[in-house]
Chains A and B, each alone.
Chain A
């Protein structure tokens, strides 16, 4: 990286953090600390909600996913706008009606303390582990790219986040997220412009998209009803809706974003703003990945995108085999060039049979390239049994480091670090706030001063931050950690959403039946996860359905106290 890139990177991050700390220097009570004094406007809420969801891995992985798998992941977000409307109508008025600090407080108003603390506990376990991963996942990639140690990268991200989160609380998070989101979106637009400008002269934008289409990357919408495909219109509308309802409706890291609104109108508009912009934003990020793919149809790509792994293989006894695979990849690339030229010439002549024939040759050449990449992965697995053979997270950052001009590399790295910091900051304030409001204040010190609670909230936020950094540093010793945390989330989300749905819509169910139903559902979900091969995303639906069904059944069979006689 050039000095200019370092300047842009640290200048951007430093300016945003300093602004956040300065702007929120007067946060001196619980309302200011946990909900920013209820002063946020709809656009701040909307950008803050989006920044919380967009973690660094979104910007690292999503373009790489489009590079490998095309645009179809976009359908995962189709249920989100629908969920934003449903939350605006059903959830927000109920949270506002009771003036709650955390979503889980609502459950005590409707049921009892144990139900509230069960939901809060499930949130703390799940989100506490996720906070470590939110730091760890991008740190793996960034440490390799920047040449820093993994622990130093984790500590640097964690320390910056703890600094401004503890100093200014929720308002600092919202204020910084607003600017971080602008940097993130601006950075992706810049990346898109650069990749399009790096395409060969004479290749129109339409032809570039055409190349992606021929090679199956423009598979944005799939209306097929088969269950074999993970991303279809139908799974996006149902599963995506369900996940968005759980995440935005019951996860305190999101709930506190929109509860910090100046009014219920601002909170609703903030969520709907997210519903309006989320899909176009994901489209842009995925489309950048597709354009990087097209770029590599005209410019040779590495055989494997993780440079450190490639260096390890090259210095092993299998260096000769690797060299031979690189030679085969060059041959496949040359065949692809010929096929693309043939396809472009056939399009110019408007010769449809020739267009189809050259498109088939192009697909065959791409399949040959993929075959060589698969062989390279098998070789890596043989030579380095513990190395990660999925290199999609390195595709976009590799393009950035090799092809963006000086200064813009620093900007794109700032995008990724901003994303890591913004989602971690929301998680930490939510963890600190929930610990204080739902446990400390409720069960240990119910009558202390407001200032006392704010100090404890700050201390607990910092403690969760330190725990997250420690967990991130420890995470390298565990395998498949990201998947493990996703599974953990899916095991708990369903039951939490079920609790809220019963609270909102099934008035007759009492506290103890719903509490027992949640415990039983968790036990059944965990047993099913351990003993069956059900895909983990389904546990969101199963957990929720179980809580609804079991709470109704238990409420029907458990005796009710006789009503007191009227006096």
Chain B
């Protein structure tokens, strides 16, 4: 019952490639690194802001 609808176009069941397809130019690993790197960079910037304007 869980899959009680047909797979939509472009999402046929068992298309393993679709589940792992990465966008053009970057791998998923690179994209995750960008997101987490941006978080780390922001934490450093905000910590500096806190220290400067204490």
* Given A78-B43, A210-B53, A263:B10 Cβ within 8 A: yes
> What chain B residues lie within 8 Å of A283 (beta carbons)?
46
Instruction: Report the minimum CB–CB distance from A504 to chain B (whole Å).
Output: 14
Does A272 contact B35, Cβ atoms closer than 8 Å? yes
Bound form: Cα–Cα A113–B19 in Å:
26
Bound form: Cα–Cα A275–B54 in Å:
28
Does A30 contact B1, Cβ atoms closer than 8 Å? no
Interface status of A122 (Cβ within 8 A of chain B): no
* Per-residue contact bits, chain B 20-37, to A (CB 8 Å; 1 contact, 0 not): 111100001001101110
Does B52 contact A442, Cβ atoms closer than 8 Å? no
Interface status of A38 (Cβ within 8 A of chain B): yes
Does B35 contact A81, Cβ atoms closer than 8 Å? yes
Q: A213 — nearest CB in chain B belongs to which residue? A: B53
Bound form: Cα–Cα A81–B22 in Å:
19
Does A38 contact B22, Cβ atoms closer than 8 Å? no
Does B5 contact A265, Cβ atoms closer than 8 Å? no
Instruction: Report the minimum CB–CB distance from B37 to chain A (whole Å).
Output: 10
Bound form: Cα–Cα A89–B20 in Å:
10
Does B43 contact A81, Cβ atoms closer than 8 Å? no
Among A11-19, A96-104, A326-334, A391-399, the one that faces the other chain is A96-104
Does A113 contact B1, Cβ atoms closer than 8 Å? yes
Interface status of A31 (Cβ within 8 A of chain B): yes
Does A264 contact B18, Cβ atoms closer than 8 Å? yes
Does A109 contact B35, Cβ atoms closer than 8 Å? no
Interface status of A269 (Cβ within 8 A of chain B): yes
> What chain B residues lie within 8 Å of A265 (beta carbons)?
21-23
Among B5, B13, B21, B46, which residue has its beta carbon within 8 angstroms of that of A31?
A: B5
Instruction: Report the minimum CB–CB distance from A260 to chain B (whole Å).
Output: 10
Does B9 contact A233, Cβ atoms closer than 8 Å? no
Scoring A96, A106, A212 by chain B CB atoms within 10 A of each residue's CB, the highest score goes to A96
Q: A92 — nearest CB in chain B belongs to which residue? A: B19
* Given A85-B32, A441-B4, A221:B19 Cβ within 8 A: no
Interface status of A409 (Cβ within 8 A of chain B): no
Q: Scan residues 82-124 of chain A and give those whose CB is less than 8 A from a CB of chain B.
A: 82, 84-85, 88-89, 93, 96-101, 105-106, 108-110, 113, 116
Among A109, A116, A441, which residue has its beta carbon within 8 angstroms of that of B3?
A: A109
Does A38 contact B39, Cβ atoms closer than 8 Å? no
Bound form: Cα–Cα A91–B27 in Å:
19
Q: A101 — nearest CB in chain B belongs to which residue? A: B5
Tally B residues with Cβ within 8 Å of A: 35
Instruction: Report the minimum CB–CB distance from A199 to chain B (whole Å).
Output: 16
Among A214, A263, A268, which residue has its beta carbon within 8 angstroms of that of B11?
A: A263
* Given A98-B2, A105-B4, A213-B54, A81:B38 Cβ within 8 A: yes
> What chain B residues lie within 8 Å of A218 (beta carbons)?
49-50, 53-54
Does B23 contact A99, Cβ atoms closer than 8 Å? no
Does A279 contact B23, Cβ atoms closer than 8 Å? no
Does A99 contact B1, Cβ atoms closer than 8 Å? no
> What chain A residues lie within 8 Å of B54 (beta carbons)?
213, 218
> What chain B residues lie within 8 Å of A116 (beta carbons)?
2
> What chain B residues lie within 8 Å of A213 (beta carbons)?
52-54
Bound form: Cα–Cα A214–B38 in Å:
28
Q: Scan residues 217-250 of chain A and give those whose CB is less than 8 A from a CB of chain B.
A: 218-223, 233
> What chain A residues lie within 8 Å of B6 (beta carbons)?
99
Q: Scan residues 179-222 of chain A and give those whose CB is less than 8 A from a CB of chain B.
A: 209-210, 212-214, 218-222
* Given A82-B36, A276-B35, A108:B21 Cβ within 8 A: no
> What chain B residues lie within 8 Å of A30 (beta carbons)?
5
Scoring B18, B50, B52 by chain A CB atoms within 10 A of each residue's CB, the highest score goes to B50
Among B2, B19, B20, B31, which residue has its beta carbon within 8 angstroms of that of A100?
A: B2
Does B18 contact A263, Cβ atoms closer than 8 Å? yes
Q: B9 — nearest CB in chain A belongs to which residue? A: A38
Interface status of A74 (Cβ within 8 A of chain B): yes
Does B43 contact A99, Cβ atoms closer than 8 Å? no
Bound form: Cα–Cα A209–B22 in Å:
42
> What chain B residues lie within 8 Å of A110 (beta carbons)?
2
> What chain A residues lie within 8 Å of B21 (beta carbons)?
263-265
Interface status of A320 (Cβ within 8 A of chain B): no
Interface status of A405 (Cβ within 8 A of chain B): no
> What chain A residues lie within 8 Å of B3 (beta carbons)?
98-100, 105, 109
> What chain A residues lie within 8 Å of B39 (beta carbons)?
78, 81-82, 275, 279
Instruction: Report the minimum CB–CB distance from A70 to chain B (whole Å).
Output: 10
> What chain A residues lie within 8 Å of B2 (beta carbons)?
98, 100, 105-106, 108-110, 116
Bound form: Cα–Cα A81–B21 in Å:
21
Does B50 contact A220, Cβ atoms closer than 8 Å? yes
Q: A110 — nearest CB in chain B belongs to which residue? A: B2
Query: What are 10 of the A-B contact pairs (CB < 8 Å)?
Result: A38-B9, A81-B35, A82-B39, A96-B11, A97-B13, A98-B3, A220-B50, A263-B18, A263-B21, A280-B42
Contacts A218-B54, A221-B46, A272-B32 aside, 11 further interface pairs with beta carbons under 8 A come to A78-B43, A81-B35, A88-B32, A99-B8, A100-B2, A210-B53, A218-B53, A222-B50, A264-B21, A265-B22, A269-B31
Which residues of B are interface residues toward A (Cβ below 8 A)? 1-11, 13, 18-23, 28, 31-32, 34-36, 38-39, 42-43, 46-47, 49-50, 52-54
Which 10 pairs of residues, A with B, have the shortest CB-CB distance?
A213-B53, A109-B2, A218-B53, A220-B46, A81-B39, A221-B47, A108-B2, A38-B8, A220-B50, A221-B46
